[in-house]
A and B are shown apart, each in its own frame.
Chain A
C-alpha cells in the first residue's frame, strides 16, 4: 500500500490568504490529509468555566479544535439561557410549606433563607409551597415551586394564624417552616397552638437528617428529626442558589375568615424617632469627635439628616455631649446600617463600637486616620466646612421640593 505522494507546494498554495502584499497562510484550515493542526490557545479558552472572576478550567472536557473555531461564543451564550431555564417539578412527592413574613409583599432576606432551608428538606423530589397572607412577589427565583396567596386579613394576628392553619390543613405539607423573626415567630407559635402540634423553634441547622436548636442559654443543643412545624433562625441557612422555579399559583377555596369579632380596636405603626431612639437600636448614627468644635451646627445637621446623634469619648468626657451618646467599647456598641463619623480618629476602642455597621462615612482632616481606612466613603476635608455645606445642600433640596409640589 502506498501513500499518495504529497505536494507541499500545492498544499501551501491552497491555504494562501489572498489579501496583502506579503504572502500569508491560514494554517488553521484542515489539511487535506493527516491530523488536524492543534491550537492550544482556543482549546484552553473552551475549557474555561464561565462566570467565575478567577479563571477556572474544566480539564475533563476536551473541546475539538475545529468545534471551537468561531463557535466558542455561541456555546457560552447557549449555556447562559440553559442555566436560567425555569425548573418545573410537575408532580412533587411531598410539599414543604414556607410561611414568609413578606412584609409589603416582598420577601425579606430572612424569608429567602427559610426558602433555602425548605429546599434542603425538600430535596430533589419534594416541592416548596409558599403560603403568603396577601401577595408576595418573586417567590420563583427564591426557590418556590407552588405559591398559595391567601387574601389579606385584618389586623388581628389570631385571624392570620387561623387562615394559615386552615390553608396548611388543606395543603397537608410534610413540613412547614417559618422565619424566627418578631412577626414570623409569633405566627408560628399561634399556628402551633391552634393545630396542637409541637413547634421546633429557632432551628440553627436544617438538614434532612435533623434540625438543631440551642437551648438552656446556648449550653446544650437539641437535635430532632424534622417534624411538622419548625422555625428557622436568622442567618443560619444559606439562600436557595439553584435555577429559578415556577412558583405556580394555586387556587384555594377556603371559606372567608369566620372568626369572632376581634378585641383589637386599632393598630397603628409608629416609625422610630431618630432623635430619641436608643443608640443601640438606631439605624443611622451621625457622630462627632474631637475634630468638631461647632457642636450647634453638628446638632442641626443631625436633625436635618434624621440621624441619631453619637459622639466619641473625648466629647462625652468634656461634657460637650451627653454620656449616653458615647459610641465605643465603654459606650454603646452600634447595630446601625450606616455610621457617619465627623472628626473622629478611629481609636480601637471607638472602632469596636462601629464594628457591626455595614456602611461608614468619615470626614477627617487626617488622611492616615483609622476611621478613613474603615470608611466606605472617606473624605479628607475640614468637617467644619463640610457640615455647613451639607446643611446648605439639604436646605436647597427642601426648598426645590417645596417649589415643585
Chain B
C-alpha cells in the first residue's frame, strides 16, 4: 500500500523552536504499521521536517515553495503523480494559522473522500478497502470502511509517536521534487489584525448569568456545585450506603438504570 504523510514545518507551542508536530509524528506511526510511508513537504526549507526521518519515515519528498505561497495546488499535483492509497495529515497545523483547512482543500482538489480525526487505520476485509477508526471523544469510536484512496486527518488520541531514532534519521533521505505546477500566488492577506494572545476567562458552567459577584465566585470555586450541596453520611449501614451510591451514580447518568437491560 502506498501511503503519503503530509509534513508541515511546525513550531513548538512553548519555545517557538522548529519541531515536527506531534500529530504528524502520530500519523507516521499509523502509516508505518501499514506499509512504507513517504513524507511530503512543500515549503522553503526541507530541514524543517528532517526530524520526521527519525520518527519512522525513510524518505521525504520535498517540493520547494517560496515562503507564504499556497501549498495546496503544489501538494495536489505531487499527490496526483504519487497516486497513494492513503494520505495522512494532522488535524490542525502547529505554529501557523492552525485552521486545519489544508487537508480539506486537498481532498476537494483530488476528488477524494476525507475522513477526519482518525486514531487507527487498518486494511479492510475486501481488497482495496480501508477501515478507519474516527475519534468521537472519550474513547468512543466511529468505524468507517472506505473504498479506495482516501485522505485522513489524525486526532491527538491516536497512539503516541514512535521514539526518535538517530541512526534512522541519518540513513533517511530527503529528495527534492520539482514543483509540477507553478506555485499559486501567495494567498491574499486576509483582513486580520494580529496581537499578542490574551487569555480570556472560560465560561463557568452553571454560573448564574445575572447573579451577584458572590454567587459567581461561588460557582467559580466550585463551592456552589456538587461540593456545596454535598451529602455526608456518617456510619450508614453498608447496604444503605450502596443504595445511596447507586442512586447518585444514576442521577448523574454515569451508570445505566437497572430495569430494561438489552444484554441478559
What residues make up the interface of A, taking CB atoms closer than 8 Å to B?
A: 52-54, 113, 155-158, 182, 185-186, 189-190, 192-194, 198-199, 201-202, 204-205, 214-225, 235-238, 241, 262-273, 277-278, 281-284, 305-307, 337-338, 340, 358-361, 363, 367, 372-382, 385-386, 388-390, 392-394, 397-398, 400-402, 404-405
B13 near A217 (CB under 8 angstroms)? yes
Which of chain A's residues have a CB closer than 8 A to the CB of B124? 265
Q: Name A269's contact: one of B13, B139, B140 (CB within 8 Å).
A: B140
Is B203 among interface residues, defined by CB-CB distance under 8 A?
Answer: yes
Q: Determine which residue in B227, B249, B264 has the highest number of CB atoms from chain A within 10 A of its CB, and name it.
A: B249
Sample of 14 further A-B pairs with CB below 8 A, known A378-B232, A398-B258: A182-B117, A205-B200, A217-B95, A236-B203, A238-B203, A262-B113, A263-B146, A263-B147, A278-B157, A281-B138, A359-B226, A377-B231, A381-B233, A389-B242
* Segment from B46-54, B79-87, B186-194 that makes contact with A: B186-194
**Are A380 and B200 CB-contacts (below 8 A) given A263-B148, A271-B140?**
no
Asked if B150 is at the interface of the complex by the 8 Å CB criterion, the answer is: yes
**A282: contacting residue among B139, B211, B241, CB under 8 A:** B139
Q: Which residues of B contact A306 (CB under 8 A)?
A: 255-256
How many angstroms from the CA of A385 to the CA of B240 in the assembled complex? 11
Contacts of B198 in A (CB 8 A): 221
B239 x A401 contact (CB < 8 A): no
Known contacts A193-B101, A221-B198, A267-B144: A386-B242 contact under CB 8 Å:
yes
B140 in contact with A265 (CB, 8 Å): no
Whether A401 contacts B259 by the Cβ 8 Å rule is yes
Q: How far is the CB of A102 from chain B (nearest CB, A)?
A: 15
Partner of A378, one of B114, B133, B210, B233: B233
Is the CB of B163 closer than 8 A to any CB of chain A? no
Contact yes or no, B195 A266, CB < 8 A: no
In the complex, what's the smallest C-beta–C-beta distance from B9 to chain A, in angstroms? 12
Within 8 Å CB of A52, what residues of B?
210-212
Quick check: B140 and A264 within 8 Å, CB to CB?
no
B170 in contact (CB, < 8 A) = no
Neighbouring A residues of B196 by C-beta, 8 Å: 219-221
Interface on B for A, CB 8 Å cutoff?
Answer: 11-14, 16, 94-101, 104-105, 107-108, 113-114, 116-117, 124, 126, 129, 133, 135-148, 150, 155, 157, 190-198, 200, 202-203, 205, 209-212, 215, 225-227, 229-236, 238-239, 241-246, 248-249, 252-256, 258-261, 264
The listed residue (B97, B101, B155, B241) touching A215 by CB distance below 8 A is B97
* A264 CB contacts on chain B under 8 angstroms: 113, 144-146
- Given contacts A220-B196, A385-B238, A199 and B99 within 8 Å (CB-CB): yes
Give A198 to B192 CA distance when docked, in angstroms. Answer: 12
Cβ of B148: which chain A residues have Cβ within 8 Å of it? 263
Q: Is the CB of A283 within 8 A of B254?
A: yes
A266 in contact with B197 (CB, 8 Å):
no
Question: Per a CB cutoff under 8 Å, which of B190, B202, B209, B252 touches A337?
Answer: B252
Contact B139 A273 (CB under 8 A): yes
Task: Evaluate whether A401 and B261 lie within 8 angstroms (CB atoms) in the complex, with A269-B140, A281-B139 already known.
Answer: yes
Give complex CA distance A277, B141 in Å: 11
Decide if B235 touches A270 in the complex (CB within 8 Å): no
Residue of B whose beta carbon sits closest to that of A210: B193
Residues of A within 8 A of B113 (CB): 156, 158, 262-264
Closest beta carbon of chain A to B26's beta carbon, Å: 14
Across the interface, A376 reaches (CB within 8 A) one of B14, B230, B246, B254, namely: B230
Q: Of B116, B197, B252, which one neighbours A338 at CB under 8 angstroms?
A: B252
Chain B residue contacts of A390, Cβ below 8 A: 242, 245-246
B113: nearest chain-A partner, CB-CB? A263
B143 and A268 contact, CB distance less than 8 A = yes
With the chains together, A272 CA to B142 CA distance in Å? Answer: 10
When chains A and B are docked, how far (Å) is the Cα of A182 from the Cα of B238? 43
Determine which residue in B99, B135, B143, B150 has the highest number of CB atoms from chain A within 10 A of its CB, and name it: B99
B116 touches A186 (CB 8 A): yes
CB-based nearest A residue for B129: A265
> Least Cβ distance of A50 to chain B in Å?
12
Interface CB pairs A-B, < 8 A, 27: A52-B211, A202-B99, A217-B13, A217-B95, A217-B98, A218-B197, A221-B195, A223-B195, A224-B193, A236-B202, A263-B113, A265-B129, A265-B145, A266-B143, A277-B139, A283-B138, A305-B255, A306-B256, A361-B248, A376-B227, A379-B241, A381-B233, A381-B235, A385-B238, A389-B239, A390-B246, A400-B258
Q: Are B96 and A193 in contact (CB under 8 A)?
A: no
- A267-B142 contact, Cβ under 8 Å, with A217-B12, A236-B200, A392-B242: yes
Contacts of A394 in B (CB 8 A): 246
Contact across chains for A182 and B136 when beta carbons are under 8 A apart: yes
Closest Cβ of chain A to B143, distance in Å, is 5
B212 and A54: CB pair below 8 A? yes
Bound Cα distance from A284 to B261, whole angstroms? 19
Residues of A within 8 A of B256 (CB): 306
The 6 closest A-B pairs by CB, nearest first: A376-B226, A272-B139, A217-B13, A277-B139, A397-B258, A389-B242
Residues of B within 8 A of A270 (CB): 133, 140-143
Cβ contact within 8 Å between B232 and A263: no
- Given A189-B100, A218-B13, answer yes or no on A405-B260 (Cβ-Cβ < 8 Å): yes
Residue with the highest number of chain A CB atoms closer than 10 Å, among B96, B116, B126: B116
Distance in angstroms from B221 CB to nearest chain A CB is 12
Chain A neighbourhood of B16, CB < 8 A: 217, 219
Question: A182 and B116 in contact (CB under 8 A), knowing A305-B249, A380-B233, A386-B242?
Answer: yes
Q: Let me know if B242 and A216 touch, CB within 8 A.
A: no
- How far is it, in angstroms, between the C-alpha of A374 and the C-alpha of B138 when the chains are bound? 24
